[in-house]
């Protein structure tokens, strides 16, 4: 059966979240109107993307991610998405592409975000980024945004290391440690990054870790757009799989 495929487990709640966002953006009046979606979530087999990019592990997460994609494809997935920003870093993403069948349509979530901004917010130039240390160090968003004439604004390294990354990864208060109940400490630390980016002139802020939108569900803060890559990925997957099913929202 032909389906949309989702690589889950990066993190586990991000996979569930992108499926919900596919359903939320689907034109459907009955169960049968919804699109078929398959997900494989095997988090214990996928090495941490940031640890690999920072040299803390030698095993490229691409090795098992590509196996998951091949399994999804064998199960009928014709278009596949990865709701993990850090997995789109060049050393990981290029290795994945090398290892999967050529007929697999693997969407690049980061590029889809840039295309979305250009289409729906053509007046925007300065785009703020919040992310993991891996995405920050790899410069994933600056690379793709610059291709589309957009200026990426990142937080300082001090804010990144002391506030943004711990808000995601801390075992005490981070979003990954308890995605069902977001701590006030995690939100406070992310807000430090948002305030910095707004003061630097960001017209929109990309929540560039798929865990961050679990904490910030609003579309704007102080009239600044918050851009959710998982929602954009969901929209792009629908467009690729069956354009007529997309609800016309932006």
Supply the residues annotated as catalytic. 84, 209
CA distance 212 to 132: 10
Phi, psi (rounded to 5 degrees) for 108: -95, 105
Distance (Å, rounded) from C-alpha 164 to C-alpha 135? 12
Alpha carbon distance 176, 31 (integer Å)? 31
Provide, for the chain, the percentages of residues in helix, strand and coil under a 3-state DSSP scheme, each rounded to the nearest 5.
Answer: 50, 15, 35
Q: Do you find a cis peptide bond into 67, omega within 30 degrees of 0?
A: no
Tokens of 151: 């200026």
How far apart, in whole angstroms, are the C-alpha atoms of residue 105 and residue 32?
Answer: 24
């Amino acid at each position: 059966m032909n389906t949309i495929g989702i690589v889950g487990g990066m993190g586990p709640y991000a996979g569930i979240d992108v499926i919900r966002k596919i359903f939320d953006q689907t034109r459907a009046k009955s169960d049968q109107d919804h699109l078929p979606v398959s997900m494989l979530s095997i988090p214990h087999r996928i090495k941490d993307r940031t640890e690999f990019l920072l040299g803390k592990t030698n095993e490229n997460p691409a090795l098992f991610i590509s196996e998951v994609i091949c399994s999804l494809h064998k199960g009928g997935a014709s278009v596949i998405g990865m709701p993990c920003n850090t997995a789109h870093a060049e050393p990981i993403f290029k290795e994945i592409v090398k290892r999967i069948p050529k007929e697999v349509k693997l969407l690049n979530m980061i590029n889809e975000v840039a295309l979305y901004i250009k289409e729906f917010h053509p007046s925007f130039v300065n785009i703020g980024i919040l992310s993991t240390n891996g995405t920050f160090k790899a410069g994933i968003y600056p690379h793709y945004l610059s291709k589309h004439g957009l200026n990426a604004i990142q937080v300082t390294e001090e804010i990144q290391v002391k506030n943004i990354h711990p808000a995601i990864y801390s075992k005490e208060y981070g979003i990954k440690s308890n995605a069902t109940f977001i701590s006030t400490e995690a939100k406070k630390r992310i807000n430090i990054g948002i305030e910095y980016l707004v003061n630097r002139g960001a017209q929109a802020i990309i929540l560039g870790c798929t865990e961050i939108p679990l904490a910030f569900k609003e579309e704007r803060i102080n009239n600044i757009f918050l851009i959710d890559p998982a929602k954009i990925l969901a929209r792009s997957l629908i467009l690729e799989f069956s354009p007529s099913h997309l609800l016309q929202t932006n």
